Amino acid sequence: MAKQPMLKFVSIERDMPKKRSATERAEDFKEIYAEFAAEKAKEQASRCSQCGVPYCQSHCPLHNNIPDWLHLTAEGRLQEAYEVSQATNSFPEICGRICPQDRLCEGNCVIEQSGHETVTIGAVEKYITDTAWQEGWVQPLAPARELDKSVGIIGAGPGGLAAADRLRRAGFQVTIYDRYDRAGGLLTYGIPGFKLEKDIVMRRNQQLVDGGVTLKLNCNIGEDITFEALRAQHDAVIVATGVYKIRDLDVPGGALSGVVQALDFLATSNRENFGDDVPEFTSGALNAADKNVVVIGGGDTAMDCVRTAIRQGATSVKCMYRRDRANMPGSQREVENAEEEGVVFEWLSAPEAFVNDLKIQDVKTVAGQAGPVRGVLGHKMRLGAPDATGRRMPEVIEGSRYVEKADLVIKALGFEPEDLPHLFDQPELPVTRWGTVKAEFGSGKTALPGVYAVGDIVRGASLVVWAIKDGQDTANAIIAELQPSAAIAAE
């Protein structure tokens, strides 16, 4: 009888790929985790219990067939494992790197609930697809037949790219319009290289171009081409702009030099790492080198900022967050990585003003300041009664005011939708009271004929994996509506 390749979670402990030392990784922007070796990937995949109701799969937005590709990996059938993984996920090597597995698949792994540590799903997913690229198993986009249907996609982030991938495979003519000079959206300019090295994203971009997808970059809808012109050129238009409007912090001192937004800081760093000429980095305006840095916020963007500042050679890096560690929205894994690298977290702490004089202790004296920021006037918080959502609200502790020294303050408070009806000169585009586009669940259809919307511009700021899910679902809806025979062939 053949030896059972699975169910080894009792005898084999969870083991992540080796993590480079904090000292070493703080010197560069390379990814911090090594790759699994083949035998280690097989071993870790063999820990899967192959449960009848796989919660890992049901809690994955893409409903990836995780138990199946873990089983195939444990048996050494990596090419088949890749094909199963790619069937539901346009970019598995990206999700394996940046998905918060601790909140999704791994966080719902049955063996962890039974007292054993979770299967290292994300690391195995990354290994499978990285191996597929190395071995030449990743095939170019080659539709069985070309169709005379055309789709225009506004936005080259994960949602738009996932929709393009699926539509092009079905034979549609696809053009992506994006305001930036490289495709990828936040994958390219928002997420630092230590979480997602940029050649991984550029490789997928090139695959789309080689497969016949047209990229029109440095293109602003409403300026370089009108929304109406897009609708006239294409049989369907997908709005996949993401959310890029900064959620600001309205406190005194915001106009001081050295008080900057997270996306500006991260995009400048990524451009510099691409080798671009970036005056804001060279001048020091958006460069943390030799500075005392304070980052405001507790999400994944804040974690990206503090860890980027460390790599740029900051003198000190602190993160101020108004709730405690247990209630922060960012990944606990990222907090742990940041602490290892030297970041100090000021929990239950919130800014009251930004100051250019460390002697200032009263917010009333802040008005009229000019020049560079020198510190953050803050106060300590406690968690009070829960709000309508059940989340405990932070309250100011009277008499707890203090000043945190800072030469660079980075506001990482999240993103909101831009005013698309105004930007696109399209007042009929339906939006919610939050500014997100109103779209039908599952298909992405809007009230405008032939116009669809996907990703964060519908959901609000969310995860990359949800954007991929929306892009795929909307592509499937378009295929079914415009070319039913292509939908049947795809099945």
Q: What is the pLDDT of residues 219-254, one digit of tens each?
A: 999 999 999 999 999 999 999 999 998 889 989 999
**Residues 271-290 pLDDT 10s:** 999 999 999 999 999 999 99
For range 39-43, the mean pLDDT: 89
Is pLDDT at 468 greater than 70 in this prediction?
A: yes
How would residue 7 be classed by pLDDT, with cut points 50, 70 and 90?
A: low
How would residue 62 be classed by pLDDT, with cut points 50, 70 and 90?
A: very high
**Amino acid (one-letter) located at 477:** A
Is pLDDT at 489 greater than 60 in this prediction?
A: no
Domains of the chain: 22-135 (1.10.1060.10), 150-244+416-490 (3.50.50.60), 251-411 (3.50.50.60)
For range 393-404, the mean pLDDT: 94
Is pLDDT at 396 greater than 70 in this prediction?
A: yes
Report yes or no: 438 and 432 within 8 Å, Cβ to Cβ. Answer: yes
Residue 309: name the closest of 377, 409, 415 by CA. Answer: 409
Residue 122: name the closest of 279, 17, 240, 227 by CA. Answer: 17
Is pLDDT at 18 greater than 70 in this prediction?
A: yes
* CB-count exposure of residue 113 (10 Å: 0-12, 13-18, 19+): exposed
The DSSP bridge pattern shows strands 214-216 and 173-177 to be parallel
What pTM value is reported for the model? Answer: 0.93
For range 197-218, the mean pLDDT: 97
pLDDT at 3: 57
Tell me which of 87-101, 102-116, 119-133, 164-178 is least confident: 102-116
